[in-house]
Amino acid sequence: MTKIARNFFVYSLTVACFICISDLSRSYAEEYKDYTVKKGDTLWGISSKEISDPFLWPKVWKENPGVKNPDLIYPGQTIKIPLKLMQKEVAPAPQPQPQTEEPVKVEHKIVPQPEPKKEKPEEKTAVPITPVEKKYLVDKDAFISGGFIADSVAHVGKIIGAPSERSAFGEGDYVYVTTLKPVNVNERFYIIRSLGVVKHPSTGARLGYLIDVIGIAQIVGEESGEIKAKIVSSYDGIFVGDLLNDFSEPDIPYLVEKPRTPDVSGVIVAAKKRRTLNGMLNFVYIDKGKRDGLEAGDVLKILSRNQYTVPNGSVQIIRVEEKTSTAIVRTSDKEVSVGDLVVPAGEEASASRVARTQLDEGTLEEEVNLFTNQYSNAYESGDIDKFMSFYSKSAVENGLHYEDIKRAYEKNFQEGRYAYALKNVHVQKSDDLIILTGAYIIRRLQGEAPGNTVQGKITWTLRKEDGSLKIVRADYNRV
């Protein structure tokens, strides 16, 4: 090869490489947008802001293999956002068809005599009826991922691993699962996770388990002796150990022009992801359900309980269980918290409810103070019959029922005398129940080891029976 030919070959190769690199760079620029993470950003928030759909965050995560955990992104980190998620498909406009002129043919025809016209029966033109478009309360993904409170954590299998040997997964990933029953190819399952036991913020009563629905898996076959599934939908990070439950097509309620506003009052007992503070479009769970007359679509008013009890927007029920419901916060003026009340919607109803709540709280505090003083006196007197008159016959104290409570205190009173006091008492009302929380101190005055002190935290649930306050539940936590 001559020197000129060799130089020409090197030059051509260099130009070709430059063109390839330029094409690759241009291709990347056409397919992705770089986003620099700021303090407080989440993939959910970035997806909502950049592509107007927070539920597409798993697809954004999938395009960023450097992000191992979707809950851990850092300021300054670069996130690739696929531009295809930001584009809407536009149908191509129909191309005009070329018109061709045909020569006009002139023919001589014999014109037949017209036949007498026969009258035809008048045909009625059918008027097409345009069906009214119905809209759902929430979209399908939001409805499924809203979660619910269940009596138990029912499941039929779980995720045990993956061909990729990763422990965190998103939409489109393959996983290995184990199941408690035979499965078929193409069979689908909800992927769920229990967020623990939900207890009533006022009474401490156990309401069930908070179930988070985080995705959908579809069986594709077997591999390496394991059942293989594909994650076809993902609403959150999915991990090894997450559970599978039977799938059924969701029955999503429709929006109606005038939703019901039933005369039902309750308490917000939990929020999705166990959030402390919530706002518009967040999911919350309330302590009323089917047995209380609630239906999907019902609207209730929120009353925030801080220094004052004030209206704070509304929730709409999207799913009802027997004793609890899942709701979406439709409007709110400030943060919505666990422990806030939900009451019948409507300006009049909520205003009167606020007035009654504020009016009751003054007299309520006096009544509870009188009750606690009388209880303390009865405790110190050692009179078991007088003491037990403060308890409902259905009372439960630290797991003991009425007769067992009586026997336990009777034994204590026989062994000595005590001083009993409550401090830092806080009182709130929930429907027909009064919740008292605070601290207790019990000091032995007589008997074995006089002067010994026991103290801790206390929660009482009180209810009026025959015009008098009674303890229906007492929980002592010694410290």
Question: What distance in Å separates the CA atoms of residue 456 and residue 440, rounded to the nearest whole number?
Answer: 6
pLDDT of 406 higher than 80: yes
Average pLDDT for the chain: 81
Report for 111-120, 307-316, 324-333, 407-416: range of highest mean pLDDT: 324-333
Q: Is residue 445 part of a domain?
A: yes
- Asked whether residue 167 falls in the same domain as residue 229, the answer is yes
pLDDT of 113 higher than 60: no
pLDDT of 121 higher than 80: no
| pLDDT on residue 123 | 58
Answer with the residue of higher pLDDT: 76 or 354.
76
pLDDT in tens, 51-92: 877 777 888 888 888 887 777 788 888 988 888 777 643 344
Question: What distance in Å separates the CA atoms of residue 217 and residue 231, rounded to the nearest whole number?
Answer: 4
CATH of the domain at 399: 3.10.450.50
Reported as type and span, the H/E element at residue 16 is helix 3-31
Of 246, 276, 303, which residue sits at a domain end?
246
Q: Is residue 131 part of a domain?
A: no
Q: How far does Cα 212 stand from its chain's mean position?
A: 7
Determine if residue 52 is left, alpha or beta; phi over 0 gives left, psi from -120 to 50 gives alpha, anything else beta. left
Q: Which residue has the tokens 């002796």?
A: 225
Contact 28, 50 (CB under 8 A): no
For 404-438, what is the HEC assignment? Answer: HHHHHHHHHHHHCCEEEEEEEEEEEEECCEEEEEE
The three-state secondary structure class of 168 is strand
- Could you tell me the CA-to-CA distances from 247 to 157, 216, 217, 244 in Å, in that order? 12, 8, 9, 9
Of 211, 246, 281, which residue sits at a domain end?
246
Question: What distance in Å separates the CA atoms of residue 324 and residue 271, rounded to the nearest whole number?
Answer: 13
Question: What is the share, in percent, of the chain residues with pLDDT greater than 70?
Answer: 78
Question: Six-digit token pair at 426?
Answer: 């806080």
Q: Is residue 96 part of a domain?
A: no
Contact 179, 238 (CB under 8 A): no
Question: Six-digit token pair at 284?
Answer: 């919350």
- Asked whether residue 340 falls in the same domain as residue 375, the answer is no
State the total domains in the chain: 4
Q: Is residue 58 part of a domain?
A: yes
